[in-house]
Chains A and B, each alone.
Chain A
Amino acid sequence: MTIPDVTFQNVSKTFGGSPVLNDVSLSIAAGEALCIMGRSGTGKSVTLKLMIGLLKPDSGSICIHGEDIAVIDEDGLSRLRHRMGFLFQSGALFSLFSLNDNLALPLRRFTKKSEQEIDHAVQQQLDDVGLGNDRHKMPSELSGGMRKRAGLARALILQPSILLADEPTSGLDSVTAGEIDDLLLQLKEKGKTTMVIVTHDICGVRRVGDRLAVLDGGRIIAMGKIEDLQKNESALVNALVSEQGCHEK
C-alpha cells in the first residue's frame, strides 16, 4: 500500500480561544488534486499553513510523505519544504527582488545549478506561466493576475511533489482565472504533483479537482467526488457545488 502524500489525523487548531479546526482528518494520495471549499473564516488557509509547517497543530498529527511535521526538527522541515510549493493568495512575491530573482533565489540556495542553468530554468518556468517577457520587472509593476502566475512559477521552480494553492483565482476576472486553472490542469496532467487547492471557485474545482472537501465550523462536513457531493443533503454543500456560471472549456 502506498503512503498518502498528505495525512491529517484528528488535527485541531485554536486561535485566541476560538477553535478554527476541530478534529479534522483527511488523506491525499500522490498525484491527487484535492480542493477545499467553505465559508470565509472556516480554517481553509489555516489547513494549508498547517500542511507546510507555518503553523503547528494544537493536537493531532500531520504527515507529509510519511513524516509528522509537527514533531520534525528544523532541518527535516526544511527538507520537506523543498519538496513542496506554496502559492499564496496575493502571490507574496518578494517586493525587493525582480521577478527573475524571485525565482532564481531558491535555485541559487538549494541547487548546484550554474548561473546559466538557473537562467534557463527561470526563463522556462516564466514561459510556462506566460511571463517570459516580464522577468526583469519588479513585483510592483505586475497586475494581480500576473502576480498570481508569478507566484505559481516560484512555487513550482524547485519542481515540488506537493503544491498548496491558497485561492489561486480569487480577485481575478474569469479569463485570467481560467488561465490559472489551465496551468494547474497542465500540472495535474503531468501526474507528478499532488495538489491541495483552497478556493471559492467551483468552476476551477470542476476542472482541476479530483475530490472536494467542504469545511464548516472547523470540521469537514463533506468530502468526495464533486458529482457525489451534488447529492449531499447539506444546503451549504449544495450551494457551494452548484454549477451556476461555469462553462465547459
Chain B
Amino acid sequence: MSLLNTLLDFIGNLGLFTLRAARRAFLPPIEWFMIWQQIGEIGWRSLPLVLSSGFAVGLVLTLHTRSTLIRFGAGSMIPAVQSLSFFNEIGPLVAALLVAGRVGAGIGAELAGMRVNEEIDAVEVLSLDSFKLLVIPRIIACILALPILTVFMDVAGIAGGFLAERSASHISLHLYLNRAFALVSWATFIPPTLKTAVFGFIIALVSSWFGYNATDGSQGVGRAATNSVVVSSLLIILTDVILVKAIFFLFPDTAI
C-alpha cells in the first residue's frame, strides 16, 4: 500500500511540476542566455557520445543482420534494413537513452547540488523565478537538442553500417546510399525523429523534478542523479510504445 501511495504521490507531484512548467514556459522574461547555454551543454557536449555510439551500433547491426539476410538471398537489402532500423527506432531510442544517461544524471545532480548549496534559495531571495531560470531552459534545450542529436545518430549509424558492409562486400558509397535511401520516405524519417522531442521533454522534466526537489545533502544529490536516469529511461521506453502506435495510426504506410 505504501508503495502504491509513493507511486501515486510521485505521479501527482510530477503532474503538478509539468503543469507549472507548461504555465511558466511562455511567460516573460524568456531566459535566452540560459537556454543557449543549456543547448551547448546538452546538445553540443553530447555529440561525441552520440556519434561514436551511433557508429558502433550501426557497425554491429550490419555485422549481425548481414548473415541472416544473405542466407535468405536478400543481401542487397542490407543498406535498406540498416537505414530503416536507424530512422524508425534505433536512432531515436538509443539517442534518447544515451542522453537520458548523460544529461539526465547531469541535470539531476546539478539542480540537486544547487538545492543543497542553497543556490536555488539564493535565486528566490533575489526575487528571481528559480523555476524559470533553472528548469525551463533545460526543458527547452532538451526538446530542441534531442531531434538534432537523433539525426547525427542516424548518420553515424549508417556510416558504421557502410563501413561494415564495405569491408565485407566492397560496395561503393554511392550504391550503398542508393540502396539505403530507396525505401526511406519523409514519413519514415520525420515522425520518428520528432518523437524524440517528447523524449527530451521527459528527460528534462523528470531530471529537473528530482534535482529541484532534492533533500538530504550529498546523499540526496546522488539519489537525484540515479533516479533521474532510471525513471526517465523507463518513461522513454514506455512512451515510445505509445508514440510508435500513434505514428502508425497517423502514417499507416510506415506500419507495413
Contacts and interface: CB of A to CB of B under 8 A. Distances in A.
A150 to B, nearest CB: 12
B27 to A, nearest CB: 13
Nearest to A54: B121
Contacts of A89: 118
B3 interface: no
Interface in B120-161: 121-128
A124 B39 CA distance: 33
Interface string B49-65: 00000000000000000
B125 A52 contact: yes
Nearest to B134: A96
B9 interface: no
Q: Which of A54, A81, A82, A94 is the most central at the interface, judged by chain B CB atoms within 10 Å of its CB?
A: A94
A109 interface: yes
B192 to A, nearest CB: 33
Nearest to B116: A90
A42 B113 CA distance: 25
Given A86-B122, A88-B122, A95-B119, A110 B37 contact: no
Interface string A133-173: 00000000000000000000010000000000000000000
A105 to B, nearest CB: 7
B117 A92 contact: yes
Interface in A86-132: 86, 88-90, 92-96, 105-106, 109-110
A78 interface: yes
Q: Residue among A82, A86, A90, A96 with the most chain B CB within 10 A?
A: A96
A96 B37 contact: yes
Contacts of B122: 86, 88, 92-94, 154
Contacts of A105: 126, 128
A110 B127 CA distance: 9
B121 A88 contact: yes
Interface in B67-96: none
Nearest to B120: A92
B214 interface: no
A168 to B, nearest CB: 14
B114 interface: yes
Interface in B100-117: 113-114, 117
B128 A86 contact: no
Residue of B117, B122, B123 with most partner-chain A CB within 10 A: B122
A89 B122 CA distance: 11
A177 B124 CA distance: 27
**Most chain-A CB neighbours within 10 Å: which of B34, B37, B124, B125?**
B125
B57 to A, nearest CB: 33
Contacts of B123: 94
A154 B122 CA distance: 10
A50 B124 CA distance: 13
Given A95-B114, A96-B37, A78 B121 contact: no
Contacts of B128: 105-106, 109
Interface in B13-52: 29, 34, 37
A109 B113 CA distance: 25
Nearest to B123: A94
A201 to B, nearest CB: 20
5 contacts: A77-B127, A78-B127, A93-B122, A94-B122, A106-B126
Given A88-B118, A94-B123, A106-B127, 8 more contacts: A52-B125, A54-B125, A86-B125, A92-B121, A93-B119, A94-B122, A105-B126, A106-B128
Give the 3 A-B CB pairs with smallest separation, nearest first. Answer: A92-B122, A92-B118, A78-B127
Interface of A: 49, 52, 54, 77-78, 81-82, 84, 86, 88-90, 92-96, 105-106, 109-110, 154
